[in-house]
Chain A
């Protein structure tokens, strides 16, 4: 259970936070990373998302790996080594963003981290804080993936009816689930369609989401 100071906050709610780089929030955490965030981080390190997932993530690529002292692998002596491409939850901290399938968005303010020397205030708004942190492309990507996720969840819920008599056998190899691995998914997608492999992360994300949408429709 995450201790919230305030919750159900809208983006215009008063909020400010002055970080003093004590780095407490880079330890003892679980950092979720979606395909867009993995692609940004992989791009920062000039490696493929396949390599990134293998080297820096856990739980099938859904979370960043931490070291034996429970510290983020990207924390260096001068702070975050991938700061320009840091994930959304790192940008949000000490806020949390919530979004449901109705498209309703709200925020929570977390209790100060033990040992955190940052200062909470009310000089600005949550919206202004998020702009400063450069969250826009990250929330846009997360929201697009969430729409696809809700669609998949609906399909799964509906799968309980009307398919009781399927006897069709499929002898093709097991489908390899690589949707979190954008480069692997795009290599296969682009090769089959004979289209160039996109190098730009935003473009790659757009095509990746189109491919995922097509896959969902086909299921």
Chain B
């Protein structure tokens, strides 16, 4: 795997887990899965892998931490 791809995936994974633990909604986890899946199917195409990785984004609009007991009612 390309080094820059790995770095972006690692960063997105850290954002997803730390973000959730701090009450910040991010789209990083979905982005990580998407990026990994794409990398797996394009192992011989480095350029595609890089492009996929650089598409990992987290929307700036979600930069609010909500520190709250979330509801988890019975379904």
Query: Are A and B part of the same complex?
Result: yes
A120 in contact (CB, < 8 A): no
* Cβ of A158 to closest chain B Cβ, rounded Å: 10
Contact between chains at B51 and A60 (CB < 8 Å): no
Residues of B within 8 A of A98 (CB): 64-67
Contact of B24 among A93, A149, A164 (CB under 8 A): A149
Contact of A142 among B20, B65, B69, B74 (CB under 8 A): B65
Q: What is the bound-complex CA distance between A212 and B65, given in angstroms?
A: 19
Given A32-B23, A177-B13, A168 contacting B66 (CB threshold 8 A): no
Q: Please, what's the 1-or-0 string for A140-179, where 1 marks a CB less than 8 Å from any CB in chain B?
A: 0010011011101101110111011111111000110101
Q: What is the bound-complex CA distance between A193 and B24, given in angstroms?
A: 32
Contact between chains at B15 and A152 (CB < 8 Å): yes
Report B16-75 residues with CB < 8 Å from chain A CB.
16-24, 26, 28, 46-47, 50-51, 53-58, 60, 63-74
Q: What is the bound-complex CA distance between A153 and B66, given in angstroms?
A: 16
Q: What is the bound-complex CA distance between A82 and B19, given in angstroms?
A: 24
Contact between chains at B18 and A156 (CB < 8 Å): no
Contact between chains at B67 and A166 (CB < 8 Å): no
Residues of B within 8 A of A157 (CB): 57-58, 60
Contact between chains at A29 and B58 (CB < 8 Å): no
Residues of B within 8 A of A70 (CB): 72, 74
* Cβ of A55 to closest chain B Cβ, rounded Å: 17
Contact between chains at A149 and B50 (CB < 8 Å): no
Q: How many residues of B contact A (CB 8 A)?
A: 47
The total of interchain contacts (Cβ-Cβ below 8 angstroms) comes to 165
Contact between chains at A93 and B2 (CB < 8 Å): no
A52 in contact (CB, < 8 A): no
Q: What is the bound-complex CA distance between A74 and B63, given in angstroms?
A: 31
Contact between chains at B54 and A152 (CB < 8 Å): no
Q: What is the bound-complex CA distance between A160 and B60, given in angstroms?
A: 14
Given A166-B50, A170-B6, A177-B13, A142 contacting B67 (CB threshold 8 A): yes
* Cβ of B11 to closest chain A Cβ, rounded Å: 5
Contact between chains at B71 and A29 (CB < 8 Å): yes
Contact between chains at B71 and A2 (CB < 8 Å): yes
* Cβ of B51 to closest chain A Cβ, rounded Å: 7
B8, B26, B54, B74 — most chain A CB neighbours (10 Å):
B54
Residues of B within 8 A of A59 (CB): 20
Q: What is the bound-complex CA distance between A31 and B23, given in angstroms?
A: 10
Seen from chain A, the residues whose Cβ lies within 8 Å of a Cβ on chain B are: 2, 25, 28-35, 37, 59-63, 66, 70, 88-90, 92-93, 96-101, 108, 110, 142, 145-146, 148-150, 152-153, 155-157, 159-161, 163-170, 174-175, 177, 179-180, 216, 219
